Amino acid sequence: MDHSFEIRKHVRTYIAVFVALLALTIVTVAISYLHLEVRAAVTVALIVAVIKGGLVASYFMHLISEKKIIYASLLLTIVFFAALMWLPIFTTSDPIMYNNVP
Amino acid sequence: MSDPHSRAAAGHSAQTHGTDGRHKEDFLRKYVFSNDHKVIGIQYGITSLIFLLFGFTLMMMMRWQLAYPEQPIPAMRFALPFGLVGLIVLAFSRLRPGIHMVVGMAILLMGWLVYWLATNDEMMPGGIMLPEFYNSLGAMHGTIMVFLGVVPLAVGAFGNYVMPLQIGAPDMAFPKLNMISYWVYFVGGVVMLSSFFVPGGAANSGWTSYPPLSDIATTGQTAWLIGMVFLITSSLLGSVNFIVTIIQLRAKGLAFMRLPFFVWAQFVTAFLLLLAFPPLEAAGILQLMDRLAGTSFFLPSGLVVSGELLPNTGGGSPLLWQHLFWFLAHPEVYVLILPAMGIIAEIIANNTRKPLWGYKSLVYAAAFLGFMSFIVWAHHMFLTGMGTSISSFFQTTTMIISIPSVIILSALLISLHGGSIRFNSAMLFALAFLPMFGIGGLTGLPLGLSSSDIALHDTYYVIGHFHYVVAPGTIFALFAGIYYWFPKVTGRILNERLGKVHFWGSFVCMNVIFFPMLIQGLAGVSRRLYDGGSQYAHALGVLYLNEWMSVGAWAMALFQVVFVVNLFLSLRKGEAAAQNHWQATTLDWSATPTPPVAHGNFARVPEVFRGPYEYSVPGAAADFTPQNQPL
Amino acid sequence: MEIPYTVDARPDTGLYNAKLGIWLFLASEVMLFGALFTSYILLRVGAPVWPRGSEILNVPLATINTVVLISSSITMVMSWASLKMKDFKKYRVFMGLTFLLGVAFLVIKSFEYGAKFEHHLFPSNNTFFAIYFTLTGLHGLHVIGGMIVNAYFWGPGSRMWKTDPERFTNRVEVAGLYWHFVDLVWIFLFPVLYLL
Q: Quick check: A38 and C45 in contact, CB under 8 A?
A: no
Q: Quick check: B7 and B595 in contact, CB under 8 A?
A: yes
At B335, the amino acid letter reads V
Q: What is the per-residue pLDDT for A95?
A: 63
Q: Quick check: B353 and B615 in contact, CB under 8 A?
A: yes
Q: What is the per-residue pLDDT for B96?
A: 80
Candidate from C21, C127, C138 with C-beta closest to B296: C127
Helices B545-573 & B496-523, crossing angle to 10 degrees?
160
Candidate from A10, A74, A92 with C-beta closest to C46: A92
DSSP H or E run through B278: helix B261-292
pLDDT in tens, C53-64: 888 999 999 999
Q: What is the per-residue pLDDT for A100?
A: 53
Low-confidence ranges of chain B (pLDDT < 50): 1-22
Phi, psi of B124 (to 5 degrees): -135, 70
At B483, the amino acid letter reads Y
CA A57 to chain centre: 9
At B111, the amino acid letter reads G
Segment C102-115 shows an average pLDDT of: 97
Q: Quick check: B142 and B207 in contact, CB under 8 A?
A: yes
Kindly report the three-state secondary structure assignment for every residue of A45-72.
HHHHHHHHHHHHHHHHCCHHHCCHHHHH
Spatial separation of the C-alpha atoms in residues B492 and B92, rounded to whole Å: 16
Q: Which of C16, C23, C170, A68 is nearest to B249 (CA)?
A: C16
Beta carbons of A90 and B389 less than 8 Å apart: yes
pLDDT in tens, C25-45: 999 999 999 999 999 999 998
Beta carbons of C126 and B240 less than 8 Å apart: no
Q: Largest alpha-carbon pair distance within chain C?
A: 62
Spatial separation of the C-alpha atoms in residues B106 and B82, rounded to whole Å: 10
Q: Which of B492, B494, B362, B507 is nearest to B426 (CA)?
A: B494
Q: Which of B401, B349, B163 is nearest to B264 (CA)?
A: B163
Q: What is the per-residue pLDDT for B27?
A: 76
What are the residue boundaries of the structural domains of chain C, listed by start? 17-195
Preferred mutation among B246, B275, B325, B379 to probe A, highest tally of A CBs within 10 A: B275
Name the DSSP class of B315. Answer: -
Q: Is B284 helix (H, G, I), strand (E, B) or coil?
A: helix
List the 34-93 stretch of C: residues with Cβ below 8 A of B.
Answer: 34-36, 38-39, 42-43, 46-47
C-alpha distance from residue B137 to each of B83, B107, B188, C22, C164 (Å): 21, 19, 18, 39, 53
**What are the DSSP E strand ranges found in B297-442?**
304-305, 308-309
Segment C151-166 shows an average pLDDT of: 95
Sorted by sequence, the CB contacts under 8 Å of residue A10 that are 6+ apart come out as: A2, C81
Sorted by sequence, the CB contacts under 8 Å of residue B235 that are 6+ apart come out as: B151, B181, B185, B273, B277
Kindly report the three-state secondary structure assignment for every residue of B535-588.
CCHHHHHHCCHHHHHHHHHHHHHHHHHHHHHHHHHHHHHCCECCCCCCCCCCHH
DSSP H or E run through C127: helix C127-154
- Computed over every residue of chain C, the mean pLDDT equals 95
Helices B318-352 & C17-45, crossing angle to 10 degrees?
140
In this structure, which CATH number among 1.20.120.80, 3.30.200.20, 1.10.10.10, 1.10.4030.10 belongs to the domain C17-195?
1.20.120.80
The whole-angstrom distance between B466's CA and the closest CA on chain C is 27
Q: Is any Cβ of chain B less than 8 angstroms from the Cβ of C9?
A: no
Q: Is B162 helix (H, G, I), strand (E, B) or coil?
A: helix
Q: Which of B630, B623, B614 is nearest to B260 (CA)?
A: B614
Preferred mutation among C40, C126, C127, C131 to probe B, highest tally of B CBs within 10 A: C127
Contacts with A90 from chain B: Cβ below 8 Å = 389-390, 393
The whole-angstrom distance between B599's CA and the closest CA on chain C is 7
Q: What is the per-residue pLDDT for B93?
A: 82
| Neighbour count for residue B625 (Cβ, 10 Å) | 19
Helices B425-448 & B318-352, crossing angle to 10 degrees?
150
CA B528 to chain centre: 22
Preferred mutation among B390, B401, B451 to probe A, highest tally of A CBs within 10 A: B390
